[in-house]
Amino acid sequence: MNLLETNLFNKKIKNPFIIASGPCGNFEELSEIIDINNLGGITTKTITKEPKIGNKAPRIVNLNDGLLNSIGLENKGIDYFIENEIKRIENYNTLKIISIGGYNEYDFEYMIEKIDDYDIDFYELNLSCPNVNKGGATLLNDKKLLSKVIERSCNSTDKPVFLKFGYESNLEELVKIGVYNGASGVTLINTLKGMKIDINTGKPILKMKTGGVSGSFIKPMAVHCIYKIREKFPYLPIIGMGGVFNHEDAIELAMAGANLIGVGTAMMMDPEIVNKIIKNTAFYLSSKNKNFEDIVSKSHERTDNYVL
């Protein structure tokens, strides 16, 4: 019996652990280190309509158990992805999630229509792509445009569409907009905004000054966001991520309400860490005589005497 098996949108998923978008690229190098087929799923790095060269260096700062980065969604565009990468990704025997980013509803619609006939499972909309023509604003700053992007994307496919959000002050409102416009689920959380200053020069280290903070220290924020959204949306599928470095972190996110668990920055520090997390989570479940679905949203059960 596979204690880790879970089900989402009538798909049996061998285990809830997926590779988050970004740190592992599109898995060509990772596949030489671990067997991708042992994972519950994979998420591609974010793909855009046109190639993006990314931000100028320096764009990565190492932190204790984490990173500060301003890569800038560097990628070679949707056409390159179709010509050179999607066939390889189709061959993996695991859940395949395609992350896409853009500036308007037409960008998202265009990309989905180009790849929708391939053997992929879900889409994840990266809504944090800064528009340099609008002072670096993202789609989250324009609720009318955000609604159009989500509605047009969802109407372009029969596959589930997830929306990726960070630690937003109006997170519940944004999720409500997503659900109203047809989103199938949400991914929580994206990186937090941060900065590091060189004390010798007094200048920010990153060329772009600010970047995305990831690592073990964002886990409490991830748990909080997942818990809050699960309370408000009891049946909404959630991919939880942020600070997962061991099985205890993963179990915590699941108990807060995550149906699937993303592992990201930790993979850059130890590419085999996800296998350790899978093994140790299975051992934990066995010791408690539970399966994974038993512990999802467990923190929301209202009972005074419950002991796991």
Q: Which residues have a catalytic role annotated?
A: 129
Instruction: Give which of 253, 236, 242 is closest to 218, Cα–Cα.
Output: 242
How far CA 144 is from CA of 141, 148, 156, 181, 199, in Å, comes to 9, 6, 19, 11, 42
Tell me how far apart the alpha carbons of residues 133 and 21 are, in angstroms, rounded to a whole number: 25
Tell me how far apart the alpha carbons of residues 126 and 35 are, in angstroms, rounded to a whole number: 26
Q: Categorise residue 202: left if φ over 0, alpha if ψ from -120 to 50, beta otherwise.
A: left
Buried b (16+ CB within 10 A) or exposed e, 88-122: ebeebebbbbbbbbbbbbebbbbbbeebeeeebbb
Instruction: Give which of 258, 275, 217 is closest to 6, Cα–Cα.
Output: 258
- Note whether 181 and 155 are within 8 A (CB): no
How far CA 177 is from CA of 7, 18, 67, 167, 239, in Å, comes to 25, 26, 31, 16, 18
Say which residue the tokens 């002991």 belong to.
Answer: 307
- Count CB neighbours of 135 within 10 A: 8
137 CB contacts (<8 Å, ≥6 apart)?
130, 131
Tell me how far apart the alpha carbons of residues 65 and 135 are, in angstroms, rounded to a whole number: 32
Largest Cα span, the chain: 58
